[in-house]
Amino acid sequence: MSATGVRIALCQITSTADPAHNLSLLRDWVRHAAESGAQVVVFPEATMAHFGVRLADVAQPLDGPWAQAVAELAQAHDVLIAVGMFTPAGTRVRNTVLLTGRGYHLGYDKIHLYDAFGYRESATVAPGSDCVTVTVNDVVLGVATCYDIRFPPLFQRLADSGASAILLPTSWGAGEGKAAQWEVLVRARALDAGAWVLGCDQADPAGVGVAVDPSAPTGIGHSLIVDPFGRVYGELDAAPGLLVVDVDTAVPLRARAATGVLANRASHAFRTDETPT
């Protein structure tokens, strides 16, 4: 591993409706990831409980027992864990990525809610508003969630905040063309931000016999690591699996210098105060 980097493991699992069972999955997968030398371990969105259940029934605060159990797991293996859970927000919940370990215990609340493809996440989930970064081995890591991938400004803002890599826990909705869109979007955001993008999706529940609501976004697998030049570094299939990468901060520097995208945004902004000729 480069002296200017960090080893990150993506754990592509299928969560169930039972937070206690899903916590046991975390214990097994964090152990495997730590044995691979990972210092950051990423799990999908909705790992606490998959979509299609009453989220208010499972939501807990960041100081609740589920998140505290994850914190103890992170401490035991000396890793940072990024994992999707749900936290209370009045009559709704927040779709939160818990970031715990290595001196951190905080959450990123998903900003862009999945009101698309016939699903309405905002009916039960309240949006977040704040960008979040953490630092491991002097590497700044940004955080986004699933549908956020369709919004380039968030990824560029994280890059502006110093992020060399962006963790992307996901529970991607199945459907015609959705797998192709997933790859295109992850590669595009990596180019937009000049950053590594690490998309950790739920494994396809059909492959492991987990019953889900077919109308809910419950994952298709194909977790994906893309480098800052938009090149696919690694990808899983639909089944559960572990994907490990050594994120090198020298690569974003080269990509940003080559493409000029971040530096050239202001000088090439569209003008609206001129009359066409």
Catalytic residue numbers read 45, 110, 146
Which residue has tokens 């969105």? Answer: 45
Q: With beta carbons less than 8 A apart as the criterion, state whether 143 and 170 touch.
A: no
- Virtual CA dihedral for 16, 129, 271, 191, nearest 10 degrees? -40
Half-sphere exposure of 147 (CA within 13 A, CB side): 20
φ, ψ of residue 140 in degrees (nearest 5): -85, 125
Q: What are phi and psi of 102, to 5 degrees?
A: 55, 35
Amino acid at 202: Q
Other beta carbons within 10 Å of 174: 18
CA distance 155 to 153: 5
Residue with tokens 């869109």: 181
In angstroms, the CA 223 to CA 241 distance is 9
Cβ-contact 194, 261 below 8 angstroms: yes
Length of the chain: 277
